Structure 1
Amino acid sequence: MLKDWPIMEQPREKLLSLGSQSLSDAELLAIFIRTGVQGINVVDLSRQLLKTFGSLSGIFNASQEELCQIKGLGNAKYVQLQACLEMVKRCLAEELVRGETLTSSQASKNFLIAQLRHEFREVFAVLLLDSQHQVIHFEKLFYGTLNAAAVYPRIVVEVAIRQHASAVILAHNHPSGVAEASLADKQITQTLSDALLLVDINVLDHMIIAGHQCYSFAEHGLL
């Protein structure tokens, strides 16, 4: 029984004493799930979930049917997980509200990671900025497969003009988990940069999201 564990090994007490960063993925999940099932304490149940779905991201991406097949879980837990994920996205989005100036790339990275890391297929998006690099709008434009998404420069240019953007940050995810720029990524970045430059819109960066990682074209000298 979890209650028989030493106090400092019980997830809630550990969090209160040492902070949430001290907990493992299984311990954080255990606090969320709250109770185990017959013969399995909540931490062991959480470990089983992580093994079944591969990661916290895999659990968040699980369908309602997949999640509800796990003993001890049901529609209520599925709804809570989705609500939790959406709250995280909105919390980070509040840091990039319209009118906020981007003074560093970290806020952009945090926001884009939250928006794209849980996507099971490749998604291409743009973060649109004004001449002072204040946030105007974020939009997911193209959806693809596990490996690629077709990107159409004309649509990117149209969206940027419609939002009166002066600069953009391009972004897409790699569901494979590899945070590196492929040759195709470099080519589409150059194509988009050339197309947007024709209408006086600068590409400040292209960020590739792979799980918790973020690859920045600007930081690697590719823009």
Structure 2
Amino acid sequence: MYSTGPTIRELPPEARPRERLAAAGPEDLQDRELLAILLRAGTRSRSALHVADDLLRRFGGLRTLSRARLEELSALPGVGEAKAATLVAAFELGRRVQGPDPASRPVVRSAQDAAALVGPRLAHREQEHFCVLLLNARHEVIGLVETSRGGLNAASVESREVFREAIRRGAHAVILAHNHPSGNPEPSPDDARLTSLLRQAGALLGVAVLDHVVVGDGRFVSLRERGLGF
């Protein structure tokens, strides 16, 4: 197989991704260059930059690539299990760092506030993920926990898992949140039924369920505002 271009080592220093990052900062790098740094190396015939181009082309951009599964990435030429694990870990860290920082104790006053906190963590997931924002009596965030994933309904989301951390951390109230992988945040009848059941369970435990936010692609819906399950 013939090479399709120079390796990264054969590029002039000012064109190499790592050197460019050190000189200009990460903001100045293209998506392909940042991916190449994570990949570290390509194949005998294709540089890490070429493999990065292949990934972006195959998935149609960085956003869809960030949702790719480990086994899906591992099977691609020039990637393999180790590089796939690095990519998956990097994308997950990016999602987590955009989530709430319990140390800063952000205050949740509205569904918009809740969506801003959980959206980065839940959006663009390939599966449904169910999370719970834990709030103290002043509605400050004291934690964000994921309780389940996969097809979410009243049978798969257990009340004890939803409220376990709330009780352990002394939460006064919670806000439920999950994503719709389709990107459409419109609540389903199952979402409304689940909300009603969890509100009843919370009332028995002395933990108020303030809202249930469904996150889509750049959008969200508050079930409380829709009067669904409340």
TM-score, normalised with respect to structure 1: 0.68
Trace 1:1-223 onto structure 2 (pairs within 5 A). Answer: 29=35, 46=52, 48-75=54-81, 77-93=83-99, 95-98=100-103, 100-103=105-108, 108-145=114-151, 148-149=152-153, 150-211=156-217, 213-217=218-222, 220-222=225-227
Identical positions, percent: 34
- Looking at structure 2, the residues matched to 158 and 66 of structure 1 have their Cα atoms a distance apart, in angstroms, of 34
SS of equivalent residue, structure 1 residue 101? coil
Count of residue pairs brought into register by the alignment: 218
- Looking at structure 2, the residues matched to 101 and 158 of structure 1 have their Cα atoms a distance apart, in angstroms, of 22
In the other structure, the counterpart of 2:13 is none
CA separation of 1:166/1:78 partners in 2, compared to 1, >3 Å: closer, same or farther?
Answer: same
**Residue type of the alignment partner of 2:170:** H
Q: Quick check: which has more Rg, 1 or 2?
A: 2
CA separation of 1:64/1:183 partners in 2, compared to 1, >3 Å: closer, same or farther?
Answer: closer
SS of equivalent residue, structure 2 residue 187? coil
SS of equivalent residue, structure 2 residue 77? coil
| Contact kept? 1:98, 1:137, Cα under 8 Å | no
Q: Which runs of 5+ in 1 are unaligned?
A: 3-10
CA separation of 1:197/1:60 partners in 2, compared to 1, >3 Å: closer, same or farther?
Answer: same
Q: Which runs of 5+ in 2 are unaligned?
A: 7-16
Calculate the aligned-residue CA RMSD, in Å.
Answer: 4.2
